[in-house]
Amino acid sequence: MIDITTTEAVFLLKILLSLFSGFLIGAERESRGKDAGISTHTFVITGSMIFSFVSTLISPSQPIAAQIVTGIGFLGAGLILKEGNRVKNLTTAASIWFAAAIGMCYGFGYYFMGLVCTLVSFVVPKIPHFKPQNSD
């Protein structure tokens, strides 16, 4: 029989929550034909969770959280494209950034917040959009 520590059990819970959230958000994005789907969101959430979790084990005073926000912002900026007068992938970049925040919630032990944010990220893209009227 394999004995796991409390820390390892908590880590397993956080991994499972991260996988669930990444799958749910990524599936929604893939259903809209977006490039950043299940794998991308799962990696971002799980990676953020791992950094956050490990930082609490090593040294709670380490500024890991700020570095995650900056790094994911850089990743998201690489997704944004401008084609003529249109900007593409802005919502996808924002969803990647939001996914990192969900991972950090799990990593720091805020499970309810992470799950609520997962549901929010699934609902937000379904909100009806208003197109500007032509002023002709």
Domains contained in the chain, number: 1
Domain assignment present for 131: no
Residue bearing tokens 């499972």: 16
Domain assignment present for 119: yes
Domain assignment present for 112: yes
The reported pLDDT for the residue numbered 17 is: 93
Residue bearing tokens 């944010």: 117
pTM score = 0.68
The reported pLDDT for the residue numbered 60 is: 64
pLDDT tens readout for residues 40-57 = 888 888 888 887 887 777
Domain assignment present for 75: yes
Tell me the residue range of the domain where 44 lies: 6-124
Domain assignment present for 135: no
Rounded to whole angstroms, what are the CA distances from 2 to 5, 8, 9, 24, 103?
Answer: 10, 12, 12, 31, 27
Domain assignment present for 48: yes
Write out the H or E segment, with its range, that includes residue 28.
Answer: helix 6-31
Domain assignment present for 1: no
Domain assignment present for 85: yes
pLDDT band at 131 (very low <50, low <70, confident <90, very high): low
